[in-house]
Amino acid sequence: MKKLKLLLIATLVAVVAGCSTTLYNVNNHPVPNSITSPQMKKAILTAGGQIGWKMTEVKPGLIKATYAQGKHLAVVNIKYSTQSFSITRANSAGFEYDAKNSTIRRHYNWWISNLEKKIIAQVNLAAH
- 18-41 core/surface letters (b: 16 or more CB in 10 A; e: else): eebeebbebeeeebeeebeeebbb
Ranges of each domain in the chain: 20-127
Q: Does the pLDDT of residue 11 top 80, yes or no? A: no
Which amino acid, 53?
W
Q: Which pTM does this prediction carry?
A: 0.84
Q: Does the pLDDT of residue 37 top 50, yes or no? A: yes
Choosing among 3.10.620.30, 3.40.1190.20, 3.30.310.80, 1.20.1340.10, the CATH entry for 20-127 is 3.30.310.80
pLDDT digits (tens, 9 = 90+) for 57-101: 999 999 999 999 999 999 999 999 999 999 999 999 999 999 999
Backbone angles phi, psi at 111, to 5 degrees: -60, -45
Q: Is the separation of the CB atoms in 106 and 21 below 8 Å?
A: yes
Q: Is the separation of the CB atoms in 20 and 96 below 8 Å?
A: yes
* Total Cβ atoms within 10 A of residue 115: 24
Q: What is the distance between the alpha carbons of residues 60 and 124, in angstroms, rounded to a whole number?
A: 20
Rg (CA), the chain: 18
Q: What is the distance between the alpha carbons of residues 95 and 48, in angstroms, rounded to a whole number?
A: 20
Residue 19 confidence class, pLDDT cut points 50, 70, 90: confident
Q: What is the distance between the alpha carbons of residues 120 and 116, in angstroms, rounded to a whole number?
A: 6
Closest alpha carbon to 66 in 115, 22, 105: 115
Q: Does the pLDDT of residue 15 top 50, yes or no? A: no
pLDDT digits (tens, 9 = 90+) for 51-69: 999 999 999 999 999 999 9
